[in-house]
Structure formats: structure tokens, C-alpha cells
Structure 1
Amino acid sequence: MPSEISPSARVPQEKRYLQLAGLFRNKIVTGQWPVGSSIPTVEQLEALHSASRTTVRMALGCLVAQGLLKTRKRGGTQVMAAPQRPPSFLLPSSWKDLVVFHSNTGYRTLASEADCLPVIPSGMTTVQGTLAPAYQRLLGLHCCGDQPFCLSQMYVEQSLFQRIAPQLPQMSVVEALTRGPRPLATARQRLSVAPADELIQAHLGVPLGTPLMQTLRWAEDRKGQIVHWAQLSFLSEYAHIEMDLLG
């Protein structure tokens, strides 16, 4: 029988070394590899991560180029600095928080397209509303300064979008929906972890398959029609969740 192939062996070398570079970078961020300490040898990292010497060296080279690691002449690699930690945004847990979040982050529109339909994943039994015949699709980036950290795909029922469109230069879509002509009866969101696809790779600059925090959000009017659907994908280092466990 052929020998079993490990999951890491199925990953192309380019993606594999980027995965390792991200893992090693996280070890510095979390203090597992403190500044000033020596990290495991290349041979130890090879064995630990079932990776080739070339792949490990390429991953370490990424962090050397960033000034986080330094290879010493007498052998070994030392941690020189910790990467700057980006601000972490608390993911909204209410519509009110959502309005504040959208107001406090930079937003850049990438595309706006009429006569679209959102794709609702199968198995989402909590989505009870009915789809409208057409929606306006808005593709955009949430940014912290100049750094994009979230790719947003939002859909607004077509006729409703036409009515709130004049307000959008001054306010976010969610705030316009709050003040809009069709009161929202229900609004829900679902948080999960999902891999980066080609669209996310193109706009957030992460390798395909990178795990990202994903929010699916939808709102219905009083007639049970879905007037708003959104899919947001966050770079995980920019987002966190907090919950009151005794509240």
C-alpha cells in the first residue's frame, strides 16, 4: 500500500513557507519566542513541522527581512524585535454597536452593482426571511489608517437602496438602514472561521486558505423580506470577541 501523505506534504511549497512564516511570527507576537532569545534550530523546526529545510529557511528568511529575526555568524537565530500589534476591534454584538463600528472605521468602496442576489449558505436554518427579486451589491474595504483589515460584501434590497443612496456619502449603509423608510423587524449575525478565497486574497493580500473571522449578517423588514445581507471577512489580528458569561 502507498504510504500516507501528511497534510503538509499536499501544500505547495510557496504556501507552506508562508504558513510557517505566519506561525513563527505569531510565536514572537505571543511571547513564545521572546525578544533576545534564540529560537529552535532549523533541524528542530524541520522535524517539528514536518517541513523541508528549504521551506523552513524561506519562512525564517521572511522574518529576517522584516527585522524580527537575525541569523548569527556562529550559528543559531535570535529574536531581534516583536512586530507592532495592530489595533483590535471588538466585533459588534448589537445593531447599535454595528452603527458605531461602521462609523469609526475607514471605508473604501470598490464596486457597486445593481440587480444582484446574495448567496445564502445552505444549512442556515436561522435565515427565515424571503429574498427580494433584486439587490444592490456593495463591495468595500474597512481600513485602519491605510491598512485594509476587512473585506465587506453587502446587499441592500434594490428599491430600498435607491431610497437611501442619497444619504450614503454622509453615513454608512447600516446607519442609513436604521434611519430608512422600512423599519427593521429582525437583525441577526453569525460568526465563524472561513478560509480566504480568491477575492479576499486579491484585496486583503493573504494567501488562499488563510483562516479569517467571518461575519454573516442579515436583516428583515416587518413583512419578513430580507432587506440586507452582508458577508464580512476580517484579518483575525484586527478583530476579537468579548462576552459577559454571567450577564
Structure 2
Amino acid sequence: MANRYEQIADDLRRLITAGTWPMGERMPAEAELAARYRVSTPTLRMSLELLQSEGLIEKRHGIGNFVRRPGQRIAYASDRHLADGQAALNLGTDNVSDVSLDITMVEADGRLASLLDVRVGSPLTEFVFVSRQCASPRSLTRIYVPHAVASLGVPEADGSPWGDSVRELLSADGVAVVTTTERVTARFPTADEAHTLNISTRTPVLAVERTSTDARGRVVEGALLVLPGDRIEVLFTTRSAASATEEMEAAG
């Protein structure tokens, strides 16, 4: 037999499907719904979290729960830069309507020290990109550049949620990226990540850990991306040496 919160989620799912609350409309307050179903607020929230994990509703902190509009998925392409440094086609970013950026000076903690191959406490520049489609957050990207590599300014807004403009700043400062390694895992978000992305802590995310090195093998950039699993695609493209040579000859 289904738990009470699952029964409530089933009924709310039915009401949403029936159009009781149109897409984009705010649902009744949690206290009102809890009273309607004669359950405690924590039980009601478990039902709402289940619907959030399914992508049916979206919680906007301090405002309420909204029936989620079906949004187009965006794509994170692994083959983002060609061998000659020119940006490759980044599929899916046209679906992002806004990208915000915050820049902070931080010190490397244990995880960042390991990611960037620097000492704990080393000074870093942190670039935090949050992309949105309308009012819905789509991705969280945190990029770190050691001060020993470069002291970068404010990148120009380019609409990319993945921090491509930081790569351009490095290039302009004479730092050439030779190799980029990306590790993709699935996990649940931290409380801070869930808050930023307006998702439940029970909604799976794709986490991308990216490191870029120069010709000496020095890590010049580290990035931590968090992407809600229900609205993102990760595209991996393998380019053979022959195809890369042909493209360079054609470009020349």
C-alpha cells in the first residue's frame, strides 16, 4: 500500500494533469494543501518534493510552488573548442535567456587544492555562472583560476553558461589550454546547490568536474558544473586525428 505522501502526490499529479493549475501558475500554499489533505506540513512537503523530482512543479524560495512549464533541454558539449582554439558550436545555449556572473577571491580548500594541484590556502579567482530560461535556473557553473596562473579581470558577457569567457581571458593573458579533462557523475545536490537551482535535494543532478592544463601539464583552470538531470544533455564528440587535420587544412 502506498504511503500517505505518495497518495497525495498521486492526487496532486492528477490535478496538474487535468489543468486545475495551469502551467506557470502558483499552487495553493503548503499550509493550505496540508489542511486540505489533513496531514502535517512535513508530509505534504514530501509529496511536493516527489513532484519536483519528476519535473512537474518548481519551488521558488520565498514565493511558493509553481506548475512547471515544459522547457527545452540545453546541451553541454564536450567538444567545445577546436584544436586551433576557436570555439566549436555549442548546441543548446540558445535556450538560455539569461546568464548571471559573480566573481570572488577565495582560498583553496582541500577539494579545490586537489582539483587544481595547488596548496591548501592558495589564492584563487572564483567565477560563478548561473543560467536561466525565463525564471527557471538551468545550470550552475563555478570556475577557479589560481592567481599563480593569471590574475583575470571581468569577462565579457557572451551568453555561455559554461564559462567560455574565462577561457578567452586566459588566452588573452597568454595562457594556452592544451588539454581538458571532464569527469561526469550523477548525484543528489547539496542544500546550497538545490537552493540556487530551485530543485529538491532529492532531484538527481549531473556533476561535471573539469580541469584544463597547459603544455607543461600545469592546471590553469578548474570547473565544477551542476546540471539538473531533468533538463540537461551532455554531448560527447570524439574527433579523429585525420578529421582534425582535414579541418585545419580546409581552414588554412
TM-score normalized with structure 2 length: 0.58
1:118 and 1:95 map into 2 onto residues whose CA distance is 28
Instruction: Within 5 Å, give how 1:60-139 maps onto structure 2.
Output: 60-64=10-14, 67-69=16-18, 84-96=69-81, 100=90, 104=94, 105=96, 106-109=98-101, 111-117=102-108, 120=111, 130-131=117-118, 133-139=122-128
Q: Is the 8 A contact 1:184 1:222 kept in 2?
A: yes
Residue from 134, 148, 153 that aligns with 2:137: 148
Residue from 157, 180, 187 that aligns with 1:194: 187
CA deviation after TM superposition for structure 1 residue 177, in Å: 3.1
SS at match of 1:223: coil
Question: Residue by residue, what CA displacement relative to the aligned partner does 1:63-118 show, whole Å, maximum 9, x if unpaired?
Answer: 355x31479xxxxxxxxx99753211222112326784697543112x43213226
Residue from 184, 204, 208 that aligns with 1:211: 204
Partner in structure 1 of residue 52 of structure 2 = none
Question: Residue by residue, what CA displacement relative to the aligned partner does 1:12-54 show, whole Å, maximum 9, x if unpaired?
Answer: xxxxxxxxxxxxxxxxxxxxxxxxxxxxxxxxxxx3xxx31x2
Structure 1 residues 202 and 155, CA, compared in 2 at 3 Å: closer, same or farther?
Answer: same
SS at match of 1:143: strand
Q: Is the 8 A contact 2:72 2:231 kept in 1?
A: yes
Identity, % of aligned pairs? Answer: 13
Instruction: Within 5 Å, give how 1:6-17 maps onto structure 2.
Output: none
Residue 169, structure 1, aligned to residue 156, structure 2: yes
Number of residue pairs matched by the alignment: 180
Partner in structure 2 of residue 157 of structure 1 = 146
Instruction: Within 5 Å, give how 1:8-47 maps onto structure 2.
Output: 47=1
Structure 1 residues 243 and 203, CA, compared in 2 at 3 Å: closer, same or farther?
Answer: closer
Partner in structure 2 of residue 56 of structure 1 = 6
CA deviation after TM superposition for structure 1 residue 178, in Å: 4.2
SS at match of 1:91: strand
Q: Is the 8 A contact 2:194 2:201 kept in 1?
A: yes
Greater relative contact order: 1 or 2 (C-alpha under 8 angstroms, separation 6 or more)?
2
SS at match of 1:173: helix
Residue from 204, 217, 226 that aligns with 1:233: 226
CA deviation after TM superposition for structure 1 residue 159, in Å: 5.1
Partner in structure 2 of residue 75 of structure 1 = none
SS at match of 2:226: strand
